[in-house]
Chains A and B, each alone.
Chain A
Amino acid sequence: MSSAKFQLLLVDDEPLILQSLALLFEDYVVHAAESGIKGLEILKHHPIDVIISDQRMPQMSGVDFLRIAKDISPNSIRILLTGYADLQAVVDSVNVGEIFRYVHKPWNAEKLRETVRFACTVAEQRRAMSIAKAASGAIPALHQPKDDAPSEFELLFVDSNERHLEQFKAFFEPKYRTHVSTKASEAFRLIPNHNIAVVVADSHLNDVDGSDFLIAVRDKFPHVVTVLMTGSQDAKLAIKMINDGQVYRYLVKPFPRETLRLTIESAVIHHKILRENPAANSKTMENALFRNADSTARSIEEMLAALRATIASKPIY
């Protein structure tokens, strides 16, 4: 596969980083910008497949840049490559920037190449899909107006606190049929038997770690969209959820009800996109590309064991 047709946009206030990266990706079409403002300018005029941006930059931060970039060029895959990002920036990079990977500086050249190669294939699929959609005129509106018509999709909430579960159920029913569980193992068995679009889990569960659970869900059911709720903010956890779990949102408790509602609405739309075009799903692609997926594994424990083995063999940043 020749990468020459792919276009990269590099954004970093350090020119020597740009120089170095441009040579790492010399077989791509590389655009370099020393600021977010310049990056946005380039984005308007070139079909960029993958954006690699620093976080700490004067004037416009990486997350701010990626948020606007997402609106200008929704099909571009966004990667944050940074020497340091505070917790808020990491969380925002998921929720606002919808980034594909979080990579630390200094990076490993070969692994970054691999990540970018993979990101390009995902971008290519996304573009193909959106062209098809445009032709049929059915691009789903991202900001759907509030509408209470019952949905065909179902939700699953997993939390060790039963009172919270009741509140979630009361809040989303009857529009969405809402399943709840205090146990990850039970929840995991539930998914294949229902039309579940979104799984929301707390990071603290009774049996397994909530973040591990969501990573397993994503791995086994790539079309399901995952949302992590956590009370303790932790940049490391957030980065793990981005890189290994492709979590859709990272919610820090307590959050307003409206935030949860909007999150679920857009997660359901995201799920529709994934289901209608599996090729657009980076997780499906990744599974196909990188894993000899153990399709016989059934229980969450087996899944987790298999998953840990895969993660251990995957690029780590």
Chain B
Amino acid sequence: MLDYKKIKKSLKKALKSIEQMEMLDELLRAQQTGQLPPHLSPRLLASEFASATQEFIQHLQLPMSAGDGSRPSLASGDSAPPPMGYEEWLRKLQMRQGGQPSAPIAPSASPAIQSAGQVDEAVRQSEARLRAIIDATPLGICITNQNYIFEYVNRAYAEIYGYEPHEMLGKPFTMIVERDKEPFWRDLHDKYLAGYKEIRGEWRTVHKSGKPLTILADAARIVGADGKPKKVTFVMDITELTRLREESRQNEVMLMQTEKMSSLGQMAAGLAHEMNTPLGFVRNNLELLEGKHKETKELLALYEKLRSQIMYGSPNDVAMLLSQIDSVAQRVKNRVWQESDNLFRSAIEGIDRIQDLVLSLKNFSRLDEAELKPTDINENIESTLKIASHLFKGGIQLVKEFSPLPMVQAYPAQLNQVFLNLITNAVHAVDEKTGRIVIKTMQHGNHVVIKVIDNGKGIPPENLKKIFDPFFTTKPVGEGTGLGLTIAYKIVERHGGKIDVQSQVGRGTEFTITLPVSGTATAVKQSATSPFADSPFAE
């Protein structure tokens, strides 16, 4: 009898996890391709940020030096037309915000006002455009002087930190950084005004409520009418994006872990048997030899007794001892004795075999090695094959066609996970007696190509598009999770490579992995290292 309630419940559960997977997948894809959904794409955000900054600085028409001179997005600022007076600009901004020109405005405000009367039509137009941008931009903008004081903040800037603009004006900018990092920030500010360039990037700051914010920042240097340098900072709040990114990264790690655990779990059964078998005969051999050793010692003791009896005892005693020795010797020289050389040999062989397995397990997991390193793909496949060796004990033929390969910059443990999955999939697909699995490696230019070819049942065309989908499996529960190829795809992609499949129902399947020899461009997540010891870089 079917328990429909139970079935319904587990179907609901499955549906929910599929939905979660879909969301996760979308997010991951968004991060990898910068396509979907637009509001979450870091690349789009960054370029939006860069163009907004650039446009802003252009309209500002200020004498300035960009945060990073080599960056094309800001380079055009260098050939800017003659500047509009800074103080003039500042006053206008503050008026627009409805605030009074506040205290810290530069003392030389009057010459700026004089020049205001001479503003021509072009400047007026430019100002109008500037306002439009400032009104529309989600970009936070502030200007700080040598004394770390906010001379100007726009609405977006204040909003990011949860303040009203007037609450910030005239105060030191250190109000938005972590208390214990204030000296660092002041130092950075000084260095920036003195010409230091490394400032663009992600930083950790603090919201009015005390909660941490992650911002993307850039800056420009300008010279005030007072002749003093000032810093214009552009910021964008990316806290939520960073959180999502971290979350999806963790989800991906979890997914990989799950797949690894389940494929290792299946391996464990085979491995346990592979290890316990040699342990079985090694232990048994040792116990047999131990028994034999005891008998030999007994014999030796009798022999020593015989010596003294020969010297001091009666012929009768000697005769008795001799017959005793004979009977013990008889016992010693049984088949265990005759075979003892073999027993020792196979015990040692068994230990070697166990050692080999332990070593290949270690090689497979690579727990004690740096994650990213020059990797010998052939060697990796060998160690994967070793822990999968019991899969081939049946009658499945394994053919290795390895070509010499250059070292590949890679995460060996992750690649092993890919190889193990392709090999198990192939083993599952072929017939136990006529199965044949070919593993080929070769070099094509600056790529390494790995092929896993089987003569198994093949993949029907309608499934071919689905095999990389999470949870797609045609295997019974316990045998398949449907995550293997999903993870394989992600890992290969992370290495800047690709994975292809060709299959013919009834004939077999061929998986091809292509990895760039040095192209780990997407594999490495290089973070800009800060020149400061206690960097607040939000990495």
Contacts and interface: CB of A to CB of B under 8 A. Distances in A.
Interface in B286-306: 287-288
Interface string B326-359: 0000000011100100110010011000000000
Interface in B264-321: 269-270, 272-285, 287-288
Contact of A106 (B283, B288, B336): B283
Please report whether the interface of chain A is mostly helix, strand, loop or mixed according to DSSP: loop
A109 B284 contact: yes
B284 A20 contact: yes
B393 interface: yes
Interface stretch (A9-17, A219-227, A279-287): A9-17
A115 to B, nearest CB: 14
B376 interface: no
B117 interface: no
Contacts of B394: 58-59
Contacts of B269: 84, 86
B25 interface: no
B432 A109 contact: no
B395 interface: yes
A72 B334 CA distance: 34
Most chain-A CB neighbours within 10 Å: which of B274, B287, B395, B432?
Answer: B287
Interface in A53-68: 54-56, 58-59
Contacts of B433: 59
Interface stretch (A21-29, A131-139, A171-179, A290-298): A21-29
A32 B300 CA distance: 35
Nearest to B286: A109
Given A16-B349, A83-B272, A84-B273, A58 B281 contact: no
Contacts of B280: 17, 20, 81, 83, 105-107
A317 B343 CA distance: 23
Contact of A14 (B270, B277, B342, B395): B277
B276 A84 contact: yes
A19 interface: yes
Contacts of A56: 270, 273, 390
Contacts of A14: 277-278, 281
Contact of B283 (A54, A84, A107): A107
B281 A16 contact: yes
Contacts of B274: 83
A16 B350 contact: yes
A23 B276 contact: no
A106 B276 contact: yes
A83 B276 contact: yes
Nearest to A88: B478
Interface string A28-64: 0000000000000000000000000011101100000
Contacts of A23: 288, 335-336, 339, 343
A107 B339 CA distance: 20
A83 B288 CA distance: 20
Interface string B500-537: 00000000000000000000000000000000000000
Nearest to A107: B280
Most chain-A CB neighbours within 10 Å: which of B277, B336, B343?
Answer: B277
> When A and B form their complex, which 7 residue pairs have the shortest distance between CB atoms, in order from nearest?
A83-B276, A105-B280, A83-B273, A109-B287, A84-B273, A20-B281, A58-B394
11 contacts: A16-B278, A19-B281, A20-B280, A20-B284, A23-B336, A26-B334, A83-B276, A104-B276, A106-B283, A106-B284, A109-B283
